[in-house]
Chains A and B, each alone.
Chain A
Amino acid sequence: MATVGIIANPASGKDIRRLVSYGTVFDNQEKVNIVRRIILGLSAVGVARVLYMPDYYGIVPQALDGLRREDKVSLRVERADIELTADQQDSLNAAIFMRESGVGCIVTLGGDGTNRMVAKGCGNIPLLPVSTGTNNVFPGMIEGTVAGMAAGVVALGIADGPPAVMPTKKLVIYKKGQPVDIALIDAVTLRDRFVGARAIWETERLLQAVVTRGEPHNIGIASVVGNIEPVTPDSDEGMSLEFGTEGRLVLSPIAPGLIVKVGVKGYKKIRIGDEVRIIRKPCIIALDGEREVEVKEDEEACIKLTFDGPRVVDVKSVLSERVKKWAGERSKGWRINGF
């Protein structure tokens, strides 16, 4: 039975960047609305079951409640049986539960931070990330209806493998030789001691960064790389940067509406498997835009580039493949779900 997981993070897009820059206001009613469109998309292509991450707000149940009567969907909607903690741990626990339940695809609603948590638990299950966060590189702005259809096609097994489902890179953070966390886009060290309000906005505190990708159209620290020497998501390289005002000044959009000159002292391309040592300590490592890992003066820490990030659905390719398959099936006299 084709099952799709939905992880809609109620807390994405609320952080301090709304205060210090012009962070998007993505309220939960809109997330409910997007989930409705995803469910309708899933239902239309014939997905039988949805497994969702519960939250205190009840994004998915509210989405179902608000469906018009004539839009009654045939799929079964079930709650992932996890204990709620009302923090980012929920996304991870839900991803693990979904992986263990054998879902065929997971749709995430959130930003880079949400996807990072999901990536820690989803294993080989393809992700379809829909952006609802503040600074996003990993998820794209995709219409929910289409995202639902694409996720359904993947879960039904109609499309898999490149170009429909693409591998991604990942950074692994090591402390004293042990992997402690990951990042999908960037790991940035800051002259800070506390996680605090999590987001990054004070560029004068930047020390070092390692990125899996960075293109000029990105936002956040990835944009700095994008504006020096772009690294594409599919290339087998990353970049290591050191910040400092004595270096080159790179005009970069580091948060919504916040375009600043970031001083880059040095940078170099790195290869898959390379490890970058963290030199300036104590520091905080921000992972995909959120301050997460604290590194003390005497702690050995490094960041390693790998290619075993989550597999990600390319909506365009998936839906194109589906059309190609239909053409073949129609010629055999098949019909899929009313088409």
Chain B
Amino acid sequence: MKTMTYVEALRDGMRFEMNKDPNVYLAGEDVGIFGGCFGQTAGLYQEFGPERVIDTPITETAIIGHAVGAAASGLRPIVEIMFIDFTGVCMDEILNQATKMRYMFGGKAKVPMVIRTPCGAGVGAAAQHSQSLEAFFTHIPGMKVVMPSVAADARGLMIAAIRDDNPVMYIEHKGLLGVEGEVPEGDVIVPLGKADIKKEGSDVTIVAWSAMVGKAMSAAASLEKEGISAEVLDPRTLKPLDIDSILSSVAKTGKLVIVHEANKTGGFGGEIAALVADEGFDYLNAPIKRVTAPDSPVPFSPVLEKAYVPGEEKIIAAVKELFA
């Protein structure tokens, strides 16, 4: 175990795989000597050189598009889209190429590529640099989506994502990059599709991911003092989703609150709610609650942004509603 920040951990995951597999390379805007917009790739250019840590032009379509071609021809690209918001300009390459090739070709192609991209509000970056768009990508068959919430997962999911033979959206939260945690060293992966119970509890299940896990944990601590025992579950991978772990937790607690930073309508919380309603209706003794951002773009003013991002108090309020 080693203490690392989230960003160090995800970088260490890339470094570990790049050392192990010469077919792994990293490409994106300013990932080279500049070290990535948030320092995610700092030092990798010096370590692996310009042939494996590649600065691209500002060209999202070609970044993803070339990765599809390279992956289908035997490489394992890690490509960075500087902000998840920018996937709007390369959606065809994600939606119709990377994730469709294998199926369209009758299973005769492999497209092992990782799209690394930061999400999340809280840094005053406004509507085009702050979104949480994970639900878009969960809607695409052929895609896997991971969203680490802590440093250890950032590393373990990174290694697993690179080794996976499918396109994986690796969504890192800007607000978490500097958060420290204990990280196992060596060849340790966090398997895709495996949830993590962050805190055990018996009265209510709070499902949260990415930056919302921390907030759910604080809320759970406050609730504990008021006599409500909350279980906090981080799915870590949204697709494939570890629905069994969620169902087992709900079977135990009978109540479910889902927390995400993305907008409410069409958010992934709705999918989890539907799955639990479908497969775990009998476990429930209260309605399923969602705590999310409102259905607005991410605002700029710190006052507005604070009102936008779901906070601990909103989670507490939602839980308490179930006990009223």
**A contacts B directly (C-beta below 8 A):** no
Interface, chain B (partner A; CB < 8 A):
none
